[in-house]
Amino acid sequence: MESTERVKRMQAELVQAEQHVKQFEEALKEFKEGQAIIKKVANYYGSNDWYKDREAHEDKRMEVDYNTSILGEDEPYDLLIANQQLAIQMLEIATDMIKKF
């Protein structure tokens, strides 16, 4: 009976692990696709255009009826730091996985 229970338990673990891998594959694909967008934000943030747009916004030389948090310092910076931290976490996880297998 011990073997039967162990096999059942490990089969359930296998199924759960497969689900986690599949979910991560999908999330990683989306994350990878999102990097092009993040790169555009990174290139814009702090650029000459960003400073010009920010000044125009502050001087009320542009019509604003939408979110302009891109012209702030916190939200774009927080996004870039969060993206960097995720990359570091992925490297740490990958390194741990390689070392253990």
**Residues 21-67 pLDDT 10s:** 999 999 999 999 999 999 999 999 999 999 999 999 999 898 888 99
pLDDT of residue 73: 93
Total structural domains in the chain?
A: 1
Residue 59: is it exposed, middle or buried by C-beta count within 10 angstroms (0-12/13-18/19+)?
A: exposed
| Mean pLDDT, the chain, integer | 95
Q: What does the pLDDT read at residue 62?
A: 87
Residue 24: which of 94, 83, 96 has the closest Cα? 94
Distance CA 52, CA 60 (A): 12
- State the pLDDT confidence band at 87, using cuts at 50, 70 and 90: very high
Could you tell me the residue range of the domain that residue 30 belongs to? 2-100
Rounded Cα distance between 94 and 40, Å, is 27
The pLDDT of residue 64 is: 85
Are 83 and 37 a contacting pair, CB within 8 Å?
Answer: no
**pLDDT for position 63:** 85
Q: Look at residue 59 in the predicted model and tell me its pLDDT.
A: 92
